[in-house]
Structure 1
Amino acid sequence: MPPPTQANESAEVLFSVQGLWCTSCALAVEARLSRLPGVQSASLHYPSATLLVSGTHDALDEDRLAAVVRRLGYRLAPPEAARDAEARLEAESRYLSLRLMVALAFGMWTMLASLLIYAGALPHAGLEQVMAWVSGAFAVPVVGYAGVPFYRAAWRTLRARRPGMDALVTLGALGAVGVSLWLLYRGSAEVYFDTAVMLILLLLAGRLVETLCRHRGLRALQALHTPVGEVARWGRGAWQACAVEEVGEGDRLRVAAGEVLPLDGTLCDEEALLDLAPLTGESAPRRFLPGEAMAAGCRNLGPPLVLEVTAVAGRCRLDKLRERMWWQQARKGELQRMADRFAAWLSPLAVVLALFTLGVAWLAGMPQEEALVRALSVLVVACPCAVGLAIPLAGLAGSGRALARGVVFRDPGAFEMFADIRSAAFDKTGTLTPGEPQVIAVTVASGVDHVSLVGLAALAAQGSQHPLSRALCRYARDQDVQGAGEMRQEDERRGQGRRVELVDGRELLLGSGSWLKSLGIEIPSGTDEATSEVALGVDGRWLGTFSLGEAPQPGTRETLARLREAGLTLALISGDRGPAVQRFGRLVGLGPGECYPDRLPESKSRLVAAMPQPSLYAGDGINDVLGIATASVGVAPLGASSAAQEGAAVVLLRPGIGGVETAWQLARRTRRVMRQNLVLSGLYNALALGLAVSMAIPPLVAVLAMVASSLSVMANSARLGWGGHEEPADARGAFGVPGEPRVDEPTLKANRAA
């Protein structure tokens, strides 16, 4: 977000924090930054290491924030690109793997020695004493090297006055070593070096599994288009290679067959066939006409094409999508804030309970060894690993799953709100329709061939940027009809039509019926107020009329039917005239009472506010921004204006509204998993602490129970990425403009090969 002009105005900045080790580190950074003067809030998403800070302009100075974070032992950097996040996670995986191998290599001998002592397999007490020292010796590399990251994180969180899980892990591991050394000093062989070893080993294994889960969730961002290094740019009369960063707006680039468009732009050639699968997941390519906008990441399936750049590197649509994902990951929903509050007071509570257990045991006359062991078990069992991971992992898995299915959740709070929606309202043009008209019916004059009519109409419309002319050209291409003839002169009159003179002397008139009538051509009167009619005349004679209108995106009717069956109240709110809206409503299965035509932006907002709440509104234009802001959840469909996308909490990457149903299902599943994780972690800590305080639990058993709780949360979150059913085929629909035929797989492969 750009900085405000006044120093006291509120703003937000986004950073990446390097060196994080656990959720406690993230909470410590948040707590330290939140205490700075002028900072309103700080939110650090641990899985993606994304930091969002809100406050006054002066308080958000990068050098000032970086100095505070550096004193805690971390580093502030710009938001990570997908490949940087991948490299960071790979480095973390290697870091964890090395320490885990050390813990395994030495810890196994510690465990073996302890097992021989516990099992009573040694012949006399002297040998047990020797084996206890051996157990401690092999525990030194584990405690002294493999566990260093926990100690470092514990010190940093203590400095930030926000001790968390690592402080408890450090107390537990060092406490187990201290108790064991004290027991050895007293001549006892019942040592607990194995507890410290298992605590560090299993937590390192859990961190590695957690990193792999984060790796899987962030792959959704890396799967997006990564620009090529060099492009072919037109300059000095030839195509020259240059770095993609050097390309400016208005430059012309050449994209060879089979290559991916490096930047956003408009088509300069007569026609192009593009595969938009990286953006939408659809397998059917789409034809593009001159002047149409094309997005980076699409693959050219036809001959080499030329595009005029409209967005430079870093400002393309996919770059903005990555940026939205960063902002989304940094924000926290209510469930996440609840989990953070729970984890924040759980660690101090565990220390208090451990001291309480130790004092009560001593007052009850319990032996010192047993009292210390029980206090140690309380510390170990209370580690809030599962609480810290409950919401972030579920949110990351849900976001990755949604992105893979063409839905971007820009606000994590939308996961919670979307799951509760009771009503859904939709704009018509550009949301339920592709935004461009298409030929619905053709009326042919007596004695005129249909193919000839279409060919002449396409010839007359060639070169025009009017939506109706473009629809006629697209219709001719779909019918595989070529324009017969060559233009000599053309003249387009705004709001009336086109006059085209052919080389053979014929004069074509293409336009509204009233315009042709004013020129003395007799044509039948139109009958349908819900459609636009374009008539064609040749040398003063009417040849035919094309009826054009808006058709729904494929799967719209089925999607709305399923939403209605789920109990949602539906509405079609449009600024178009009544007959067109009512006709379209019938096409998609909406009744007259669910269609609201002739609505201005203010009336759209009032209608959305009057619907059952929480509500959803999907719209693509500037006139829909107010409705998006009024609704509980705003949705921007594919191709929406930048204003609509900025105001929406959810952005769709596939044509049509099938993504609304997908987002609703995923939101319900994600929120369910979040709540399950909170319940699992909360029950574990409540039961485990209660048992550890009230009865003797071996520290090793406490370690295993704590790790099992964390693994259960990870496995439950992973279900979002691995499970779930796919959308019905009719909800995904054909790609591109309705009416354009789908391309079967053999044809698609042939196009790619060409």
Structure 2
Amino acid sequence: MVTGFVGSFDESINIALYFVGYFVIGGSIVFKAIKNIFHGEIFDENFLMTIATVGALILGEYPEAVAVMFFYEVGNLFEDIATNNSKKSISALLEVKPVFATIKIAAGTKKVDPSKVQVGQIIVVKPGEKIPLDGTVVSGKSMVDTSALTGESMPRSIKENDMAMSGSINQNGTLEIKVTKVYSDSTVAKILDMVQNASSKKAPAEKFITRFAKIYTPIVVAMAAALAVIPPLFTGNWSEWISRALVFLVISCPCALVISVPLSFFGGIGAASKQGVLVKGSSYLEALNNVDTVAFDKTGTLTKGQFEVVKIVPVNGISRQELLGVAAAAEQNSTHPIAQSIVQAYNGDISKFEISESNEHAGHGLSAVVNGKQIIVGNNKAMAGIDFVENRDIGTVVYVSSDGDFMGSIVIADEPKTDASDAIELLHQRGIKSAMLTGDNEVVGRSIAKKLKLDQVYTSLLPEDKVNIVEELLASSRKNNKKVAFVGDGINDTPVLTTADIGFAMGGLGSDAAVEAADIVIMGDEPSKVSKTIRIAQVTRKIVMENISFAIGIKVLFLILGAFGIVGMWQAVFADVGVTVIAVLNAVRLQFLK
């Protein structure tokens, strides 16, 4: 090709070299155009490039034809580099997939595929290995690297009875872990599924570009054909007008839009993943730009969810140990953090209590038969029909009754997360209102709301009450064409997550149901990442709008200049490839967003 440009050979040899160069560089593009025609996809960028360059070859504009293909491939190279860089932060999540699990057997240990391991089996994880399945540590202690899952750079310490999250990397101690979930239900499997399906849910801007390209391309082809045929009927200068039509075709190629807009959203999703936030599709990233209210669940979302019994108030001569023991026996099979705190606070022999008929009642508490007596443990709603003494201490109050007789109350404290106050402040700086929805009593709810400076607080709510409150917030926001986001972590939050315009699940501590129902998952359980994700969404939209405006503006200008013969094939190459490269480089900025 270079020799052809230099022109040191005979003209026929130079022409042959041009054709060789053309097919070496652009052969794949021509092949794609032909293949797409047979599949009914006629009007794409490959078709435009092929028609324009074949026409240039016919007109004897050999260097221009080769140059168009060459620079078009340069543009594709820039796109590939940018896309690969965007994928790096997301592929880091894909790399957490475990290759094997080491299970304990009678003869020692055995390596198997993680999908073959059953719940209850013991797996051994040595230093440097990935934790293949979710489970509870039964032996050993270590530091684990969760950065690929949560975005947190500092390793976490885990020990006996702590939860171990699949996809984490064990650093310095051998762990024995009792598996609590099969591989298909594990944290790492759900992350892989969400990442791999993220591109299927397109933002409105992406859908617009797809529709735009399908309408735009046939129109410009028709305009180019008219430019090649109609003016020569009056002027007779066919060569000049066909040349202008070919220039028109090269300029009209919508590569900058078709490539840069999806790349921008892909970059935004990648930037979020660096923060330990999984966005399930660009449509949710786009929707965040219109959020004016964020509603939070309290326990495990704004607060640590690490409850401690701070006060025991028995009545009618019942001892503190007896009250706590009965409550712990009833709560022992519950996974709720409050229940676990009561069980941990009881230091007696819980096996002396015979328990049966245990039932949880959402928004109230639970009931169980303990040593033959009907025990109810829950909030004031659970005490309906029972003569009980209300406890107004600050904290979560759990009431206990036995066969309809009130036994006393237990006060449990839960502190706000370290970044909860910053989370609310960051939202306020963006002009976004905050609200807290909690099943706790008014004293506890307003105490937390005051500490965090929340705009609104709703207390003593059942799961259906939370849905009703979010629907009210939605009705108010939609009057101004705005949206409402909800942030929660528990199974009780699932209906609210699906009701809100955008649902955030706190993935690390969150329930499987909440993670499944949410549109965005915060792996590190940090509420401040809600605001950070909104910022990423805003920057993403800004870059998308810049690229759309720039690409369309340059295209229109050069199409007019090309039609009047003011610009030629070389300028057309800039209008196509140059604009594409600039738009791609602009989209790449998202990869450096922090």
Does the aligned pair in 1 maintain the 2:98–2:167 contact within 8 Å?
A: no
- Structure 1 residue 634, shift from structure 2 partner: 1.1
Q: Distance in 1 between matches of 2:279 and 2:89?
A: 13
Partner of 2:586: 716
Query: Partner letter of residue 3 of structure 2?
Result: W
- Residues 1:155 and 1:165: Cα distance change in structure 2 (over 3 Å): same
Query: Partner letter of residue 393 of structure 2?
Result: D
Q: Distance in 1 between matches of 2:353 and 2:428?
A: 46
- Residues 1:387 and 1:529: Cα distance change in structure 2 (over 3 Å): closer
Residues 156-175 of structure 1 show CA distances to partners (whole Å, capped at 9, x for unaligned) of 22223332110011111111
Gaps of 5+ in 1: 1-105, 114-126, 181-191, 444-456, 476-482, 497-511, 513-524, 535-544, 727-754
Partner of 1:604: 466
Partner of 2:4: 110
Q: Distance in 2 between matches of 1:150 and 1:373?
A: 21
Q: Distance in 2 between matches of 1:605 and 1:492?
A: 38
- Structure 1 residue 205, shift from structure 2 partner: 1.4
- Residues 1:559 and 1:529: Cα distance change in structure 2 (over 3 Å): closer
- Residues 1:322 and 1:604: Cα distance change in structure 2 (over 3 Å): same
1:179 paired residue among 20, 38, 59: 59
Q: Distance in 2 between matches of 1:527 and 1:575?
A: 15
Partner of 1:153: 32
Q: Distance in 2 between matches of 1:112 and 1:320?
A: 58
Partner of 2:404: none
2:80 paired residue among 200, 211, 222: 211
1:559 paired residue among 423, 426, 437: 423
1:236 paired residue among 96, 106, 110: 106
- Structure 1 residue 385, shift from structure 2 partner: 0.9
- Structure 1 residue 369, shift from structure 2 partner: 2.7
| 1:654 counterpart SS class | coil
Residues 629-653 of structure 1 show CA distances to partners (whole Å, capped at 9, x for unaligned) of 2211111112222222222111111
Is the deviation greater in 645-654 or in 257-266? 257-266
- The reply on whether 1:414 has 2:284 as its aligned counterpart is yes
Partner of 2:68: 199
Q: Distance in 2 between matches of 1:253 and 1:528?
A: 44
Does the aligned pair in 2 maintain the 1:217–1:397 contact within 8 Å?
A: yes
- The reply on whether 1:637 has 2:516 as its aligned counterpart is no
Q: Distance in 2 between matches of 1:288 and 1:465?
A: 23
Residues 352-378 of structure 1 show CA distances to partners (whole Å, capped at 9, x for unaligned) of 122221224313425333222212211
Query: Partner letter of residue 395 of structure 2?
Result: A
Q: Distance in 1 between matches of 2:289 and 2:350?
A: 59
Partner of 1:135: 14
TM-score, normalised via structure 2 length: 0.81
**Match runs of 1:77-476 below 5 Å:** 106=1, 108-113=2-7, 132-163=11-42, 164-180=44-60, 192-224=61-93, 225-269=95-139, 273-288=143-158, 290-301=160-171, 303-365=173-235, 367-438=237-308, 467=337
Partner of 2:433: 569
Partner of 2:532: 662
Does the aligned pair in 1 maintain the 2:293–2:485 contact within 8 Å?
A: yes
| 1:257 counterpart SS class | coil
Q: Distance in 2 between matches of 1:472 and 1:627?
A: 28
Q: Distance in 2 between matches of 1:442 and 1:210?
A: 64
Q: Distance in 1 between matches of 2:443 and 2:353?
A: 29
Q: Distance in 2 between matches of 1:373 and 1:636?
A: 57
1:678 paired residue among 528, 543, 548: 548
* Structure number with higher relative contact order (C-alpha < 8 Å, ≥ 6 residues apart): 2
Does the aligned pair in 2 maintain the 1:339–1:390 contact within 8 Å?
A: no
Query: Partner letter of residue 559 of structure 2?
Result: L
Gaps of 5+ in 2: 314-323, 356-365, 368-376, 378-389, 400-408
Partner of 1:91: none
- Residues 1:355 and 1:227: Cα distance change in structure 2 (over 3 Å): closer
Residues 52-111 of structure 1 show CA distances to partners (whole Å, capped at 9, x for unaligned) of xxxxxxxxxxxxxxxxxxxxxxxxxxxxxxxxxxxxxxxxxxxxxxxxxxxxxx2x2333
Partner of 1:617: 486
Partner of 1:122: none
2:393 paired residue among 528, 536, 558: 528
- Structure 1 residue 718, shift from structure 2 partner: 0.3
Q: Distance in 2 between matches of 1:170 and 1:407?
A: 42
Residues 552-571 of structure 1 show CA distances to partners (whole Å, capped at 9, x for unaligned) of 11111111022123211211
Is the deviation greater in 639-648 or in 374-383? 639-648
Partner of 1:650: 520
- Structure 1 residue 138, shift from structure 2 partner: 1.6
Identity of aligned residues (%): 24
Query: Partner letter of residue 197 of structure 1?
Result: V
Partner of 2:316: none
Q: Distance in 2 between matches of 1:471 and 1:229?
A: 36
What RMSD over aligned residues (CA atoms) do the two structures have, in Å? Answer: 3.3
- Residues 1:672 and 1:204: Cα distance change in structure 2 (over 3 Å): same
- Structure 1 residue 278, shift from structure 2 partner: 2.5
| 2:35 counterpart SS class | helix
- Residues 1:282 and 1:408: Cα distance change in structure 2 (over 3 Å): same
- Residues 1:440 and 1:199: Cα distance change in structure 2 (over 3 Å): farther
| 1:147 counterpart SS class | helix
Query: Partner letter of residue 461 of structure 2?
Result: R
Query: Partner letter of residue 602 of structure 1?
Result: E
- Residues 1:253 and 1:643: Cα distance change in structure 2 (over 3 Å): same
Q: Distance in 2 between matches of 1:217 and 1:283?
A: 20
Q: Distance in 2 between matches of 1:469 and 1:567?
A: 38
Partner of 1:60: none
Does the aligned pair in 2 maintain the 1:433–1:656 contact within 8 Å?
A: no
Query: Partner letter of residue 256 of structure 2?
Result: A
Residues 282-341 of structure 1 show CA distances to partners (whole Å, capped at 9, x for unaligned) of 234444454443211223345311112234445431222121122220222211111112
Q: Distance in 2 between matches of 1:668 and 1:256?
A: 43
Residues 478-534 of structure 1 show CA distances to partners (whole Å, capped at 9, x for unaligned) of xxxxx9xxx9997468899xxxxxxxxxxxxxxx9xxxxxxxxxxxx9872425599
Q: Distance in 1 between matches of 2:338 and 2:84?
A: 48
- Structure 1 residue 259, shift from structure 2 partner: 2.9
- The reply on whether 1:692 has 2:562 as its aligned counterpart is yes
- Structure 1 residue 237, shift from structure 2 partner: 4.2
Partner of 1:506: none
Q: Distance in 2 between matches of 1:708 and 1:246?
A: 52
| 2:120 counterpart SS class | coil
Q: Distance in 2 between matches of 1:385 and 1:132?
A: 34
Does the aligned pair in 2 maintain the 1:162–1:344 contact within 8 Å?
A: no
The number of residues matched between the two structures is 527
- Residues 1:345 and 1:637: Cα distance change in structure 2 (over 3 Å): same
Q: Distance in 2 between matches of 1:687 and 1:240?
A: 68
| 2:104 counterpart SS class | strand
